[in-house]
């Protein structure tokens, strides 16, 4: 096996609230890219580059903390979405890859944004799905909806905060 390292990590953030009838309602956090950056105004997940020698999952959690302020005390679960995106990026004249993760946060968690973003909003899954532009973003939201909200399925995707497969 000859693994390769992605250029980027994406980390989707969601939380689950319960209705009066204990029906789970997942919400996705979208953050808006600030002016002066590539793709200003784009609603997205946390995304960033890996540091040299950094483990991929650790990079996702570092970017999560840097861009939103969320740390271990906010995280209820950490997941590998079994998804790697590839896209053409004109600014580097090449194909860029991103390994995709997700975190489930406490229901009361609220972000503290870095200067990279100027807006944040929690949206129901269907609204977040309709809001995002890139097809790969919609695929990640579908995986949260279809695989992570169901405890039976989500266990297969769960990682420890050290990035190892969580024992079942």
Tens of pLDDT, residue by residue, the chain (168 residues): 778 899 999 999 999 988 778 888 899 999 999 999 989 999 999 999 999 999 999 999 999 999 999 999 999 999 999 999 999 999 899 999 999 999 999 999 999 999 999 999 999 999 999 999 999 999 999 999 999 988 899 999 999 999 999 988
Are 96 and 7 contacting, i.e. CB atoms less than 8 angstroms apart? Answer: yes
Distance CA 159, CA 42 (A): 28
- Number of residues that make up the chain: 168
The DSSP letter of residue 165 is B
User: 37 forms bridges with which residues in the sheet?
Assistant: none
Are 17 and 107 contacting, i.e. CB atoms less than 8 angstroms apart? Answer: yes
Distance CA 9, CA 65 (A): 13
Prediction pTM value: 0.94
């Amino acid at each position: 096996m000859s693994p390769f390292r992605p250029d980027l990590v994406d980390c989707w953030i969601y939380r689950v609230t319960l209705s009066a009838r204990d029906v789970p309602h997942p919400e996705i956090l979208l953050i808006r890219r600030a002016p002066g950056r590539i793709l200003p105004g784009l609603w997205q997940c946390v995304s960033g580059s890996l540091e040299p020698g950094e483990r991929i999952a650790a990079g996702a959690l570092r970017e999560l903390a840097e861009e939103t302020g969320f740390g271990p005390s906010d995280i209820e679960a950490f997941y590998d979405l079994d998804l790697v995106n590839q896209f053409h990026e004109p600014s580097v004249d090449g194909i860029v890859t991103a390994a995709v993760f997700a975190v489930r946060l406490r229901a009361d968690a609220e972000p503290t944004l870095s200067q990279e973003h100027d807006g944040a909003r929690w949206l129901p899954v269907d609204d977040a799905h309709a809001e995002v532009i890139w097809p790969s973003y919609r695929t990640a939201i579908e995986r949260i909806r279809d695989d992570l909200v169901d405890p039976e399925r989500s266990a297969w995707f769960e990682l420890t905060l050290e990035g190892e497969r969580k024992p079942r």
